Structure 1
């Protein structure tokens, strides 16, 4: 009987120890998770702002971004222009993004982007080429943003080229930059452009238009072609072709429906 009682007591002790051990282990794991979480929070609060290194011998290319910007109209010209740094014996491009905040910008498709500069607070580097990609609200609320429109106007004054993709042309139109200029925009929004800006000369059946310093494109995947055209203007056919080859893009300006207005 004593042996049986001893065995029962021993078994109970083992289970009790196991429960205590499990409890202390779970508590330890919780503390570890909390510790990691706290470190992550502290780390994120102390991350220093990253500023792009701008080579003074290169063109400065500023991309205007905001919530709802479309991936393709942003990344297509960005890819083309950024790859100029790999071409020897040419004046490459510094590419950077500009927004009205330094907080993450969320594209229409959900991509999160940290802007390089905040035009409401920073001293923006002189922009040689201003790129205005399309965004979700370029036909409505974005056009009411007076500070953004002012930034576009001021940047355009000394820019060598001002380019828009898809509905980015609505921003240029609102700023008055397309007065007396021929241009294009996203094909299905041409009627909206004519309604909103009846005095402007918007063209259809072309993928891009070059008039003066303004180069406007239909957008979408054709934003690549408009960007390659800019590079052909600046660097010549050979480099433009090499940029296209590097991104596996067929490029032949003669085969791209476009309009060039010479002044």
Structure 2
């Protein structure tokens, strides 16, 4: 039996507790108590969610096999006692996971120094600024670096928990739990947190027109000159304004759009990787593979295998 401890503090975001349901359903599916769950806080007693609802907790005690630290809606400084407990859990517990902004608490305890981690996209920049030793990967749904796990925000807590269940009991149980939760089998950890166009968020209509043109013409070379023409700007003006409004170069933004389109085509399952690479403007599989590794930490073949697992799950259901 695995013991799992959830640490909550006043102001925690209630979606983080969705992980409890995944562990509960793992127990129900196995027909035994595979996970013993404890909800804790530093002093024990009543803890309020960010909505004001109350949850009863136990005081910190023995270190569980898996410690999950649930983040607050607005991250704040951690109490010294709690910091020390989380730091020691990094040595005593088999796994420590930061759910959403729980990554801030792990970082304050020193568990993320030199490690790759993620958190809710809206807080990723702040975490990187406060803890420069963290290797922030804000585009990931969840990240495992050794015994330390971190997840993006909100529903990503379920993806993280399904990955933990799969790590303990295999993919079949994780798929069964996912079906009962009425979600897909866990999204691959490298999947983007949100749409590339939403992330870029250009302020001006001209830059927005260029991005729409790029998305609709991915098979084109999409040079700066072509994009500048779509924006009715000179190439020099366009490059300057584009970087000011999006924080990225046009070439990097176009690659993000190509990656997003490539993943969508693979989800359809009707095309070979050669055709996906051609139709999304990568021109060949090797170039597409390098782009996937840079942005998602896994090659296209890994994503395709995950999608086939999900198809098998839907058939079984």
**TM-score normalized by the length of structure 2:** 0.58
State the superposition RMSD in angstroms: 2.1
* Aligned equivalent of 1:103: 45
The answer to whether residue 129 in structure 2 is matched with residue 207 in structure 1 is: no
Report the CA distance shift for 1:94/1:169 in structure 2 as closer, same or farther (over 3 A).
same
User: 63, 76, 82: which one pairs with 2:24?
Assistant: 82
Is the CA contact (8 Å cut-off) linking 2:117 and 2:143 kept in structure 1?
yes
After superposition, give the CA deviation of every residue in 1:126-168 in whole Å (9 maximum; x if it has no partner). 3100001111452x3x33x101101111222121111111111
C-alpha separation in 2, matches of 1:220 and 1:78? 14
Give the secondary-structure state (helix, strand or coil) at the position aligned to 1:98: strand
Is the CA contact (8 Å cut-off) linking 1:77 and 1:224 kept in structure 2?
yes
C-alpha separation in 1, matches of 2:177 and 2:190? 17
Flag the structure with higher helix content. Answer: 2
- Structure 2 unmatched ranges of 5 or more: 193-295, 299-317
Greater RCO, 1 or 2 (C-alpha within 8 Å, sep 6+):
1
C-alpha separation in 1, matches of 2:186 and 2:23? 18
C-alpha separation in 2, matches of 1:154 and 1:207? 26
The answer to whether residue 59 in structure 2 is matched with residue 118 in structure 1 is: yes
Report the CA distance shift for 1:224/1:217 in structure 2 as closer, same or farther (over 3 A).
same
C-alpha separation in 2, matches of 1:252 and 1:170? 24
C-alpha separation in 2, matches of 1:256 and 1:90? 32
* Aligned equivalent of 1:133: 70
Q: Displaced runs of 4+ in structure 1, greater than 6 A?
A: 258-261
Is the CA contact (8 Å cut-off) linking 1:229 and 1:253 kept in structure 2?
no
Report the CA distance shift for 1:254/1:197 in structure 2 as closer, same or farther (over 3 A).
closer
The answer to whether residue 244 in structure 2 is matched with residue 244 in structure 1 is: no
Report the CA distance shift for 1:108/1:61 in structure 2 as closer, same or farther (over 3 A).
same
C-alpha separation in 2, matches of 1:248 and 1:126? 32
1:103 positional shift: 2.6
C-alpha separation in 1, matches of 2:37 and 2:123? 28
**TM-score normalized by the length of structure 1:** 0.69
- Structure 1 unmatched ranges of 5 or more: 1-57
Is the CA contact (8 Å cut-off) linking 2:141 and 2:191 kept in structure 1?
yes
